[in-house]
Structure 1
């Protein structure tokens, strides 16, 4: 039995439809498993893509971030994996309402639906040496989704300019929270 199948068997009984309580699990056994999540959200094991979507979904429910590292966690074991950028990608956006009353719902590549708001912020993460700053969405417990380019273009369509503390910001509302993409004058100038 491969380490991947052994690990999957250890997850038997967990629901792939909701995250496991990984923040409550502190197993004594730890190690590493050859799983990599690429920048585009595709999961690989030993250099080959994991083809079974249900298995990826199940593994995503036991994913945990600790001190900048990513782990698959069960009550018995914690295995370090490699994540190139963010573990998820936001691949779809739907909006209801307008401006301050707007609700933005993102769907991730593994099927999670995440409503942007106070608990799940939209933010930009600067990378050294790269002027392109991609947007991200907080999914849960320090796990984020990189917002794909096509979804970002959709998101920009909902943006407006608002004055906050005397400064005009370009951004978007969701669940009563304003997410600034930057000062309006800086965005127009670039």
Structure 2
């Protein structure tokens, strides 16, 4: 089992310095992050949000696999789609003007155009919206969040083309290209 006693929070970000830890691989853990944001351990949903948040803070992505990492242990877990789920958004004022701030189910907060990028992925007519997260991971936008953002679309011009998209921190994100 994972020893959580060794965790010490990074004072600036509130996140432990996972990127500085290099423990040996200890094996697999029966933990799955479902596409809907649920964390399932030994077949049961983890019902304590603080426990899920703690696990999300020690999540590491390496060579296409996900691990929970402490200074002394590294265990592999499974992730169905994205390990994070964006459940809230809002406009904020930044040094670069108005920006979109996203909050995940595990209380991570990132700003589009400053801390993260936005893209659509998947099959044509079934694309899903994602943002980039720490350590090369990604978060999927909850359907309600995406529908709310669709109401905010404006005309944009990007290196990928022109069409409808979002503006955040002086950056344009093309979501619906012109035909």
Distance 1:38 1:29 in 2: 23
Unmatched tracts of structure 1, length 5 or more? 186-190
Larger radius of gyration: 1
Distance 1:166 1:70 in 2: 31
Unmatched tracts of structure 2, length 5 or more? none
Kindly indicate whether residue 116 of structure 2 is the aligned counterpart of residue 120 of structure 1: yes
Distance 1:164 1:74, change over 3 A: closer
| Equivalent in 71, 76, 89 of residue 72 of structure 2 | 76
Instruction: Find the counterpart in structure 1 of residue 57 from structure 2.
Output: 61
Instruction: Find the counterpart in structure 2 of residue 157 from structure 1.
Output: 151
Q: How does 1:13-32 map to 2 (within 5 A)?
A: 13-14=8-9, 18-32=14-28
Aligned length: 175
Distance 2:163 2:22 in 1: 43
Distance 1:53 1:111 in 2: 10
State the Cα deviation string for residues 167-190 of structure 1 (Å, max 9, x = none): 4221111112211114122xxxxx
TM-score in terms of structure 2 length: 0.87
Secondary structure at the counterpart of residue 51 of structure 2: helix
Secondary structure at the counterpart of residue 90 of structure 2: strand
Distance 1:11 1:159, change over 3 A: farther
| Equivalent in 170, 173, 181 of residue 175 of structure 2 | 181
| Equivalent in 165, 172, 175 of residue 166 of structure 2 | 172
State the Cα deviation string for residues 146-181 of structure 1 (Å, max 9, x = none): 001110011112211123469422111111221111
Distance 2:129 2:9 in 1: 31
Q: CA RMSD in A?
A: 2.2
Distance 2:22 2:28 in 1: 16
TM-score in terms of structure 1 length: 0.83
